[in-house]
Amino acid sequence: MFTKVLKKLLCTLTAIIVTGSVMLLSGCSTKEEQLNVYVAAGLKKPMEKVITAFQEETGVKVTPNYGPSGGLYTQIKEGQPCDLYFSADWLYIDKIEDDGNLIAAQKFLQDHMVLIVSETGKTKVKTVQDLNKPGVTVGICDPNAPVGVYAETALKNMDLWDQLNQTGNLKARPSTVNQLAIMVQKDELDAGLIFSSVAKGFGVEHVQTIPQEYTGEIIFGAATIKGGNEMLAQKFLDCANENIDEFIQAGWQAYQE
Partner 1 sequence: MKRDIIGVIFLPLFLLLVVYPMVALLGHLNFEGTVKTLTDYYFWDSVKNTLIAAFAAALLGSFLALGFGYYHLFAQNTIIYRLANLMNDLPIALPHTVAGLALLLAFGRNTFGFISNTGLAFMLISVVLAMFFVSYPLAARAIASGVDQIDSEIIAVARTLGDTPQKAYLHVVVPALGEALFSGFVLTFARSLSEFAAVIMFGGNVPGSTQVLASYVFTKVEEGELEMAITASAFCIVLSLTIVVVLSIFNARRRKYA
Q: Which residues are annotated as a binding site for molybdate?
A: 69, 177
Pairing of strands 218-225, 205-210: unpaired
Instruction: Please state, in angstroms and rounded to a whole number, the distance separating the CA atoms of residues 88 and 91.
Output: 9
Contacts of 86 (CB under 8 A, 6+ apart): 37, 38, 39, 40, 43, 47, 108, 220, 221, 222
List the one residue from 110, 153, 167, 175 that touches partner 1 (CB under 8 A): 175
Stretch that binds partner 1, among 48-56, 104-112, 175-183, 234-242 (CB under 8 A): 175-183
The reply to whether 186 sits near partner 1 by the rule CB under 8 A is: yes
Q: How many CA atoms lie within 13 A of 133 on its CB side?
A: 13
The reply to whether 235 sits near partner 1 by the rule CB under 8 A is: no
Give min distance, CB of 191 to partner 1, in A: 12
CA-closest candidate to residue 103, choices 227, 224, 229, 252: 224
Summarize the annotated binding site as residue ranges. Answer: 69, 177
Q: Which is nearer to partner 1, 168 or 211 (CB)?
A: 168
List the one residue from 48, 188, 205, 230 that touches partner 1 (CB under 8 A): 188
Instruction: Please state, in angstroms and rounded to a whole number, the distance separating the CA atoms of residues 129 and 254.
Output: 30
The reply to whether 6 sits near partner 1 by the rule CB under 8 A is: yes
List the one residue from 41, 103, 158, 182 that touches partner 1 (CB under 8 A): 182
Q: Tell me how long the chain is.
A: 257
Asked if 176 and 229 touch (Cβ cutoff 8 Å), the reply is no
Asked if 229 and 83 touch (Cβ cutoff 8 Å), the reply is yes
List the one residue from 174, 201, 221, 228 that touches partner 1 (CB under 8 A): 174
The reply to whether 70 sits near partner 1 by the rule CB under 8 A is: yes
List the one residue from 73, 161, 195, 220 that touches partner 1 (CB under 8 A): 73
x/- letters, 139..168, toward partner 1 (CB under 8 A): ---xxxx----------------------x
Q: Which is nearer to partner 1, 48 or 188 (CB)?
A: 188
Helix, strand, coil abundance in the chain, percent, nearest 5: 50, 25, 25
Give min distance, CB of 55 to partner 1, in A: 28
Instruction: Please state, in angstroms and rounded to a whole number, the distance separating the CA atoms of residues 40 and 20.
Output: 34
